[in-house]
């Protein structure tokens, strides 16, 4: 996708020039940085002073060539923050609104039953949308967008209005959409965990300018990128394989891609053996000697690969069966004598890990 646009705004000028090709591209940045404006420009809902937008080789906007397709001709599905469902229609009629259906109930090659199954909303079809929970409403809005069979799916902070518990239950559905349907997505968020969970590529913007772009785990390594991430959001995200769950001990054993095993809080056997786990960079302790007789369920040997400094704090990158980010005070780094290539042990409580 080619995305070049210059849009004058009240406080700054949005000026982006990027090319990317990914299943899920996240536009990441703080509130007021121009994320939603950029999404609206792609959808044709915001005037562009100068630029060009190309999707799958088709130009939908070009100021130089005088091309400006109206929104309905851009083959784009848009899921706004609040879902924007029609309150006077049932769930079924909302989902089918705008879908191009044939006699078999399919929308341009996508089966409605398949969409309902992936999003688990089949039992909601006859319900008024006014009786839906926030999470249900977002899944219905997502189904409606998918059944229009767009060439591009735009999602504007679809989880922003949900509480933390509900966000963690909805995230897997977005992952299913990514994996089940061949529709590239552009996903706007200011939540780092959502980027690491869903995106293959990230565009980090600040005050209308591109800060960095790339594979999320690589893009966020730079000090400039780290400075844009809210402290409470600095998390490690890993794809792991479930090994065994023991309800009596209250823990589940999982295996990282490297083979390193970890203990996380007990979860019932999921539909898939492959799950995603998260732990905050602030919930990991560091020791230079293996601790004995402690309650933490995970003590993992590792090597410090990098130390980045931010406002009197240190962000350690530690190789320990995977790449972990650990946040420490400058005093702790000095006290432990940590430098690059120092051998350390990461100490992580079982209950510090979270999974969807």
Q: What is the pLDDT of residues 243-274, one digit of tens each?
A: 999 999 999 999 999 999 999 999 887 666 78
Q: Answer whether 122's CB lies under 8 Å from 116's CB.
A: yes
Q: Are residues 218 and 241 in the same domain?
A: no
Angle between helix 134-147 and helix 112-119 axes, rounded to 10 deg: 150
Q: Are residues 6 and 120 in the same domain?
A: yes
CA dihedral 25, 212, 329, 319 (to 10 degrees): 60
Residue finishing a domain among 166, 192, 227: 227
Residue finishing a domain among 211, 227, 243: 227
Residue-level pLDDT at 312: 79
pLDDT tens digits for 292-337?
999 999 999 999 999 988 777 898 999 999 999 999 999 999 999 9
Residue-level pLDDT at 100: 58
Residue finishing a domain among 202, 227, 252: 227
Q: Are residues 13 and 46 in the same domain?
A: yes
Residue-level pLDDT at 22: 95
CA of 169: how far to CAs of 150, 185, 256, 267, in Å? 25, 20, 22, 13
Residue-level pLDDT at 356: 64
CA-nearest of 148, 198, 203, 202 to 172 is 198
Q: Quick one: average pLDDT of 220-225?
A: 74
- Mean pLDDT (the chain, rounded): 89
Q: Are residues 219 and 271 in the same domain?
A: no
Angle at 51 between CA 45 and CA 54, to 5 degrees: 75
pTM, full prediction: 0.78
Is the pLDDT at 6 greater than 60, yes or no? Answer: yes
pLDDT confidence bin for 168, thresholds 50/70/90: confident
Say which residue, 4 or 226, is predicted with more confidence: 4
Residue-level pLDDT at 231: 67
Q: Per the structure, how many domains does the chain have?
A: 2
Burial of 10 from C-beta contacts in 10 A (0-12 / 13-18 / 19+): exposed
Q: Quick one: average pLDDT of 165-192?
A: 84
Percent with pLDDT over 90 in the chain: 58
Q: State how far the Cα of 193 lies from the Cα of 108, in Å rounded to an integer.
A: 33
CA-nearest of 240, 239, 200 to 217 is 200
Q: Quick one: average pLDDT of 123-127?
A: 91
Q: Are residues 181 and 218 in the same domain?
A: yes
Q: Are residues 290 and 248 in the same domain?
A: yes
3-class secondary-structure state, position 218: helix
pLDDT tens digits for 269-288?
766 678 889 999 999 999 99
Q: Are residues 157 and 285 in the same domain?
A: no
pLDDT tens digits for 57-87?
999 999 999 999 999 999 999 998 776 888 8
Residue-level pLDDT at 265: 96
Q: Are residues 13 and 102 in the same domain?
A: yes
Q: Answer whether 115's CB lies under 8 Å from 142's CB.
A: no
Residue-level pLDDT at 103: 44
What phi and psi values does residue 27 have, to the nearest 5 degrees?
-100, 110
Q: State how far the Cα of 180 lies from the Cα of 159, in Å rounded to an integer.
A: 20
Q: Are residues 267 and 240 in the same domain?
A: yes
Q: Quick one: average pLDDT of 131-158?
A: 89
Residue-level pLDDT at 226: 72
Q: State how far the Cα of 180 lies from the Cα of 117, in Å rounded to an integer.
A: 11
Residue-level pLDDT at 30: 86
Eight-class DSSP state of 283: G
pLDDT tens digits for 9-59?
999 999 999 999 999 999 998 889 999 999 999 999 999 999 999 999 999
Q: Are residues 278 and 307 in the same domain?
A: yes
Q: Are residues 222 and 245 in the same domain?
A: no
What CATH number is attached to the domain comprising 31?
3.40.50.300
What CATH number is attached to the domain comprising 248?
2.40.50.100
Q: Answer whether 322's CB lies under 8 Å from 242's CB.
A: no
Q: State how far the Cα of 305 lies from the Cα of 157, in Å rounded to an integer.
A: 34
Containing domain of residue 287, as a range? 235-352
Q: Quick one: average pLDDT of 111-128?
A: 89
pLDDT confidence bin for 109, thresholds 50/70/90: low
Q: Are residues 267 and 309 in the same domain?
A: yes
Q: Quick one: average pLDDT of 183-195?
A: 90
């Amino acid at each position: 996708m080619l995305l070049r646009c210059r849009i004058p705004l009240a406080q700054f000028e949005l000026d982006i020039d990027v090319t990317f090709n990914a299943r899920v591209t996240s536009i990441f940045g703080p509130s007021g940085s121009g994320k939603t404006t950029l999404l609206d420009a792609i959808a044709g809902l915001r005037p562009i002073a100068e630029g060009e937008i190309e999707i799958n080789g088709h130009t939908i906007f070009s100021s130089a060539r005088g091309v400006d397709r109206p929104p309905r001709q851009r083959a784009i599905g848009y899921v706004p923050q609040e879902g924007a469902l029609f309150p006077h229609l049932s769930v079924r009629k909302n989902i089918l609104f705008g879908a191009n259906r044939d006699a078999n109930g399919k929308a341009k090659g996508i089966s409605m039953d398949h969409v309902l199954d992936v999003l688990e909303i089949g039992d909601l079809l006859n319900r008024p949308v006014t009786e839906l929970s926030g999470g249900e409403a977002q899944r219905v809005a997502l189904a409606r967008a998918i059944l229009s069979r767009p060439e591009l799916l735009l999602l504007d902070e679809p989880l922003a209005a949900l509480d933390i518990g509900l966000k963690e239950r909805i995230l897997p559905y977005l992952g299913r959409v990514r994996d089940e349907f061949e529709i590239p997505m552009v996903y706007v968020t200011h939540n780092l965990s959502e980027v690491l969970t869903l995106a293959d590529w990230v565009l980090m913007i600040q005050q209308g300018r591109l800060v960095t772009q790339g594979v999320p785990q690589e893009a966020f390594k730079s000090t400039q990128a780290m400075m844009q991430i809210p402290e409470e959001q600095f998390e490690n995200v890993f794809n792991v394989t479930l090994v065994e769950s023991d309800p009596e001990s209250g823990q589940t054993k999982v295996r990282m891609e490297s083979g390193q095993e970890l203990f996380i809080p007990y979860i019932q056997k999921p539909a898939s053996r492959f799950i995603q786990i998260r732990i905050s960079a602030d919930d990991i302790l560091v020791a230079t000697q293996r601790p004995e007789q402690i309650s933490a369920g995970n003590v993992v040997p590792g090597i410090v690969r990098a130390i980045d400094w931010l406002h009197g704090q240190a962000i350690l990158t530690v190789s320990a069966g995977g790449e972990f980010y650990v946040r420490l005070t400058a005093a702790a780094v000095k006290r432990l004598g940590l430098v690059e290539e120092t051998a350390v042990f990461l100490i992580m409580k079982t209950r510090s890990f979270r999974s969807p």
